[in-house]
C-alpha cells in the first residue's frame, strides 16, 4: 500500500483490538465435560457455528452465542444448560485489549478519527471502549445496523454515517471472513490485516499486513 492519508481509520473491534477470548470462555465452562485433548476442536466448532449464526436475520448477540454453543454441544453429545450460555456471554464484558493496542491507537488518534464497526451490542461495547486507551470518534454496533458482519449492511451504514466513499477510509481487521473479504467486495481499497494468527494470509484481497497494531502508524505516515 502506498502512503495514504484516510479521512477515517475504521476498525473491527473484537479480535483485532480486544483480545477476543470466546474459546477460552467456552473451555473454562466445559472443562469438566470435554476432554482436554478435544477442547480445541470443540471450540473451533463453536467458532464455526457463531459464523453461521450471524449470516441470517439480526438477533441479539446473546442468542448468537447461545445458539452456537447449543449446536456445538449437540454435535459433540455434550450436555448444555442456559447457565453455560450465560457464563460465556458474561465473560465477554471482562476482556481487555491486546497489549499492542492502546499506544498505537493513541498515536493514530492524534491525526485521524478512529471508528469502530463491531459485531456487538449497544450495552456490551461500552465495557471495552474505555480500555482501548484512545478517543473513539464513532462506534457502530451490529445492533444499531440490524445486521452482523460479514454482511455488507454494516459497512454501507458506516460509510453513509461518515459521509465518505469506500476509497477514503482505511479499514483494519484481523479477519478476512468477517471483514476484509466484504470490504474488498465493497471497493474499500485501503485495508490493513493484523496477523493475529486467526486465519491464513490471502493476498487476493489486497491489504497491508502488520504483525500487531504497533505497525499501523507507519502505514499512514506516523
CATH of the domain at 83: 1.10.150
* 114 and 126 part of one domain: yes
CA distance 61 to 149: 12
* 15 and 116 part of one domain: yes
Higher pLDDT, 35 or 198: 35
Query: Any idea which residue has 491507537 for its cell?
Result: 105
* 134 and 199 part of one domain: yes
Q: What pLDDT digit, counting tens, does each position of 58-98 carry?
A: 999 999 999 999 999 999 999 999 999 999 999 999 999 99
Measured torsion, CA atoms of residues 193, 198, 201, 206, in degrees rounded to the nearest 10:
-30
Query: pTM of this prediction?
Result: 0.94
Q: Which domain holds residue 51?
A: 22-94
pLDDT for the residue numbered 4: 81
Rounded to 5°, angle at Cα 161 from 217 and 203: 45
pLDDT for the residue numbered 178: 97
Do 201 and 209 form a contact (C-beta atoms < 8 A)?
yes
* 128 and 211 part of one domain: yes
Assigned domain for 3 exists: no
The mean pLDDT of the chain is 96
* 164 and 191 part of one domain: yes
Among 41, 61, 94, residue at a domain's last position: 94
pLDDT for the residue numbered 73: 98
User: Which residues neighbour 196 within 8 Å (Cβ) at sequence distance 6 or greater?
Assistant: 15, 16, 98, 174, 212
| CA 19, 20, 22, 27 torsion-angle sign | negative
Q: What pLDDT digit, counting tens, does each position of 111-127 carry?
A: 999 999 999 999 999 99
Q: Is the pLDDT of residue 1 over 80?
A: no
Among 59, 94, 129, residue at a domain's last position: 94
Q: Is the pLDDT of residue 132 over 90?
A: yes
* 101 and 84 part of one domain: no
Burial of 55 (C-beta count, 10 Å sphere; 0-12/13-18/19+): exposed
Q: Is the pLDDT of residue 9 over 50?
A: yes
Assigned domain for 209 exists: yes
Do 169 and 6 form a contact (C-beta atoms < 8 A)?
yes
Is the link from the previous residue into 150 a cis peptide, with omega within 30 of 0? Answer: yes
Amino acid at each position: 500500500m502506498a502512503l495514504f492519508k484516510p479521512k477515517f481509520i475504521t476498525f473491527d473491534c473484537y479480535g483485532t483490538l480486544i483480545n477476543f477470548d470466546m474459546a477460552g470462555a467456552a473451555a473454562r465452562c466445559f472443562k469438566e465435560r470435554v476432554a482436554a485433548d478435544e477442547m480445541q476442536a470443540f471450540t473451533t466448532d463453536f467458532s464455526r457455528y457463531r459464523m453461521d449464526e450471524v449470516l441470517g436475520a439480526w438477533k441479539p448477540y446473546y442468542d448468537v452465542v447461545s445458539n452456537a454453543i447449543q449446536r456445538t454441544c449437540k454435535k459433540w453429545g455434550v450436555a448444555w444448560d442456559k447457565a453455560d450460555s450465560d457464563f460465556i456471554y458474561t465473560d465477554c464484558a471482562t476482556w481487555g485489549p491486546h497489549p499492542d493496542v492502546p499506544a498505537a491507537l493513541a498515536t493514530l488518534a492524534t491525526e485521524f478519527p478512529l471508528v469502530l464497526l463491531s459485531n456487538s451490542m449497544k450495552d456490551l461495547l461500552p465495557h471495552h471502549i474505555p480500555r482501548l486507551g484512545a478517543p473513539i470518534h464513532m462506534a457502530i454496533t451490529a445492533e444499531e445496523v440490524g445486521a452482523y458482519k460479514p454482511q455488507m449492511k454494516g459497512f454501507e451504514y458506516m460509510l453513509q454515517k461518515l459521509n465518505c466513499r469506500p476509497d477514503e477510509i482505511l479499514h483494519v481487521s484481523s479477519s478476512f471472513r468477517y471483514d476484509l473479504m466484504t470490504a474488498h467486495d465493497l471497493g474499500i481499497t485501503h485495508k490493513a490485516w493484523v496477523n493475529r494468527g486467526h486465519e491464513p494470509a490471502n493476498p487476493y484481497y489486497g491489504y497491508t499486513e502488520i504483525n500487531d497494531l504497533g505497525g499501523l502508524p507507519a502505514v499512514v505516515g506516523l
